[in-house]
Amino acid sequence: MLRLTAGRVGCLLSRRAVVGMTNSGARMSSHSHHEVSDQVDMSQPMYWDRLDTPLPDRAWIDVLDSKDKSLKQKEKGPWTALSKEEKIALYRLKFNHTYPEMKKPSHEWKTVIGGMFIFFGITGLVVFWQGHYVYPPQPHTFGEEWQAKQIQRMLDMRVNPIEGFSAKWDYKNKQWK
Amino acid sequence: MSLAKPAMRGLLGKRLRFHLPIAFALSVVAAAAFKYGVTEPRKQAYADFYKQYDATKEFNNMREAGIFESVRPTGK
């Protein structure tokens, strides 16, 4: 079975995630001419399984054996003459997956969430190292004493006395309300 | 297997007839909530503040605290 090269790239992804990726891409099946490499000939009509584009450029099974050929002949007549099994066989000739099969949930989300947390962790370590080795000393205005003097001056200036900062200070009793 | 033919037309109209009145009602509710939750209390807070406000007294308090550069605290 010929596949897109993307399907070959395993990397750190799980097998299931790789299968999930290839399922959403185009697939080759029973294609008559032989590719030299793994490349897909994009100048030929392609097949795809996509939720948003239901009718691909070509059918899933291109090369029909004699049984399929006779079924295709029968399809040219009135469809009421077809049995249920024949209709399903015709569907399976034309399409690879049904919509429920396409929509089947996978385990890919675990890979995604796991990868996210791994990178969060690495980033956390980088940030911690940075805070220790890279940052310069804090400005003197961050110190406790300075902050206290700053707050006192803001209250003296009556900063936002109606609804904001100084509104929360009880000037009579010299404490926060 | 014969299923009922699905609705082919009027889909947007149906959606709008359902969602627009709800959207309008929710917008009105949001506006009313903001008016009576935020703006009316704020107007009241300002009114209450200025009812008892003595500008000269406040100025003198600020002056004594030493925040002005044009008028020093009384004394020195």
pLDDT digits (tens, 9 = 90+) for A2-21: 444 444 444 444 444 444 44
pLDDT tens for each residue of A84-129: 999 999 999 999 999 999 999 999 999 999 999 999 999 999 999 9
How much is the pLDDT for B2?
86
Q: Is the pLDDT of residue A28 over 80?
A: no
pLDDT tens for each residue of A52-70: 999 999 999 989 999 999 9
**A163 Cα to chain B: minimum distance (Å):** 7
Give chain B's contact residues with A (Cβ, < 8 Å): 42, 45-46, 49, 58, 61-62, 65-67
Report which DSSP code applies to A176. Answer: E
Residues in A touching B39 (Cβ below 8 Å): none
- Rounded Cα–Cα distance for residues B59 and B68 (Å): 10
Q: Is the pLDDT of residue A39 over 90?
A: no
Whether chain B has a CB inside 8 Å of the CB on A156: the answer is: yes
Task: Establish, for the pair of chains A and B, how many residue pairs have beta carbons separated by less than 8 Å.
Answer: 17
ipTM above 0.85 for this complex = no
Which chain B residue is nearest to residue A158, measuring alpha carbons? B62
Average predicted confidence (pLDDT) for chain A = 85
Report which DSSP code applies to A33. Answer: S
Which whole-number Å values give the CA distances from A167 to A155, B18, B58, in the listed order? 9, 47, 14
- Rounded Cα–Cα distance for residues A157 and B2 (Å): 80
- The DSSP result for B8-58, as a single string, is -S-HHHHHHHHHHHHHHHHHHHHHHHHIIIIIHHHHHHHHHHHHT--HHHH
Both tokens assigned to A109: 């989300």
